[in-house]
Amino acid sequence: IKEIRDLNVGMELEGIVTNVANFGAFVDIGVHQDGLVHISQLADRFVDDPNKVVKVGQVVKVQVLEINEKLKRISLSMKAVKQ
């Protein structure tokens, strides 16, 4: 998997957290665009601060939820996959 077009919804991948924001975490999954794990998809419980769940450099397992090639956006979930 090298390009965004190689991704499919439902795929499970490992990635590295590259940035943590108040709305979620960005994860490098090996394509040219980092994917976003929205705060609601970080865990199967309520999360008030993404920094309590993930740190930059952490390896995480994610599932691809949505791909928008035009906008180069990748939506990911951590709660759908066992960490």
CB distance 27 to 17 below 8 Å: yes
pLDDT score recorded for residue 1: 84
Phi, psi of 41, deg, nearest 5 = -110, 10
Q: Is CATH 2.40.50.140 correct for 4-77?
A: yes
Report residue 12 CA to chain centroid gap.
10
Q: What is the pTM of this model?
A: 0.95
pLDDT score recorded for residue 80: 87
The share of the chain scoring above pLDDT 70, in percent, equals 100
* Confidence at 56, pLDDT banded by 50, 70, 90: very high
Domain boundaries, the chain: 4-77
What is the residue-averaged pLDDT of the chain? 97
Helix (H), strand (E), coil (C) string for 51-79: HHCCCCCCEEEEEEEEEECCCCEEEEECC
Return the biggest CA–CA distance within the chain: 33
**Mean per-residue pLDDT, 30-36:** 96
